[in-house]
């Protein structure tokens, strides 16, 4: 219980000074009681003079820290319990390789999309591969069918930055009787440059490919998955989606959309047998880095932080089949995302990311006005 000296307009019967003088204290700030005593973890003290403020003890700080940790653990347990409840039919609804049932992979001509296409074929899934280069897709189709004779590979060359390209892909799948059980939205585009330095075409391409195509393809195929009671969606996010990314402001904003879109949609689909996974890799050395002009960036060359494309693709597919809502490829990507989303001061984080997104020769340029 709180001591009498904490109550407004009451004579303190325990404080020696108050007892002798009969002074009526009005607040905690006039009495030398420690917070630890109030919390039941310490002892009270007396003073010959009224003091302003309260004495924070190590015991009280420790109590508060334990309280915060306890609350966090309770919330984490509730989160796990709710996830398991929503995933009660998860194992039974995992997509199995079947004739005419395919995994649609966009951006399959190179990088992580190509790696995931090969690894899905190894698992026995037939494929529908989409990218702009038909010649590259034909070569990949031949390679996969030669190695995995039972796997059927369909290809379709299209430009997903246009609504017509997206509609034509959906129509192609329907006309050929292809049932999409797995959707991998891997196509993406970026360029490391200040937003004002981007052309209007580049702005349109980033927004169309990194956001609109993801939403439109998901909207085209997920309702069919829900009807069948089985399906997996894998959206490729990025570590950049959880942090402030000067020199890639539009790209990181697009990936932030992918992250929140995936999490919200995954919850909406609870209990349907369909799950949505957003996989957020950190640095990965693929041709995407060359296209985005970030191969020389500091963050791409920190020892021990980059993930090999094959490993990254395997981790992404593993997270998808496990039904994880959000996953990362390395400790560096995970810690960066947590710090960026919850901890780091915003302006300092922006400065750090601005330096990291560029070559060492541009450090001073990124910090000065």
Residues annotated as part of the active site:
251, 255
The C-alpha angle with vertex 340 and arms to 337 and 346, in degrees rounded to 5, equals 170
Instruction: Write the DSSP symbol of residue 260.
Output: H
Residue 160 has a CB neighbour count (10 Å cut-off) of: 26
The residues that bridge with 235 in the sheet, in sequence order, are 185, 278
Beta-carbon contacts of 259 under 8 Å, excluding residues fewer than 6 positions away, are 237, 241, 242, 278, 280, 326
Q: Is the dihedral of CA 338, 339, 344, 346 positive or negative?
A: negative
CA distance 64 to 36: 10
Which tokens go with 137?
């897709």
Query: Measured over all CA atoms, what is the biggest interatomic distance in the chain, rounded to whole angstroms?
Result: 97
CA 92 vs CA 81, 84, 96: distances in Å: 19, 14, 10
CA distance 282 to 218: 24
Beta-carbon contacts of 353 under 8 Å, excluding residues fewer than 6 positions away, are 243, 244, 245, 246, 340
Whose tokens are 């996969």? That residue is 144
Q: Are 25 and 31 in contact (CB under 8 A)?
A: yes
Beta-carbon contacts of 261 under 8 Å, excluding residues fewer than 6 positions away, are 214, 215, 235
Q: Are 32 and 15 in contact (CB under 8 A)?
A: yes
Q: Are 14 and 5 in contact (CB under 8 A)?
A: yes
């Amino acid at each position: 219980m709180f001591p009498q000296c904490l109550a407004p307009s009451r004579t303190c019967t325990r404080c020696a000074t108050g007892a002798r003088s009969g002074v009526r204290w009005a607040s905690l700030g006039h009495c030398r009681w420690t917070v630890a005593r109030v919390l039941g973890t310490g002892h009270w003290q007396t003073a010959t003079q009224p003091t302003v403020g309260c004495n924070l003890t190590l015991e009280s700080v420790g109590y508060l820290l334990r309280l915060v940790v306890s609350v966090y653990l309770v919330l984490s347990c509730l989160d796990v319990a709710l996830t398991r409840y929503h995933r009660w039919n998860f194992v039974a609804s995992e997509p199995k390789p079947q004739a005419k049932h395919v995994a649609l992979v966009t951006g399959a001509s190179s990088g992580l999309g190509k790696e995931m296409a090969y690894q899905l074929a190894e698992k026995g899934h037939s494929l529908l591969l989409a990218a702009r280069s038909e010649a590259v897709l034909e070569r990949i189709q031949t390679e996969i069918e030669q190695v995995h004779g039972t796997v059927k590979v369909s290809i379709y060359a299209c430009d997903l930055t246009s609504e017509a390209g997206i509609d034509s892909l959906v129509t192609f799948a329907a006309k050929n009787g292809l049932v999409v059980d797995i959707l991998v939205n891997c196509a993406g585009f970026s360029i490391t440059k200040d937003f004002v330095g981007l052309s209007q075409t580049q702005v349109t391409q980033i927004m169309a490919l990194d956001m609109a195509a993801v939403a439109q393809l998901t909207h085209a195929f997920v309702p069919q998955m829900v009807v069948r009671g089985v399906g997996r969606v894998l959206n490729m996010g990025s570590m950049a989606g959880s942090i402030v990314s000067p020199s890639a402001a539009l790209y990181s904003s697009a990936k932030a959309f992918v992250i929140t879109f995936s999490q919200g949609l995954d919850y909406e689909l609870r209990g349907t047998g369909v799950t949505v996974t957003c996989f957020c890799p950190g640095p990965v050395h693929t041709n995407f880095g060359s296209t985005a002009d970030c191969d020389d960036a500091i963050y791409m060359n920190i020892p021990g932080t980059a993930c090999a494309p094959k490993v990254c693709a395997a981790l992404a597919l593993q997270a998808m089949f496990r039904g994880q809502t959000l996953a990362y490829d390395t400790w560096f990507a995970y810690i960066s995302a947590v710090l960026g989303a919850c901890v780091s001061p915003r302006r300092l984080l922006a400065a750090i990311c601005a330096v990291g997104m560029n070559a060492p020769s541009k450090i001073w340029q990124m910090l000065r006005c």
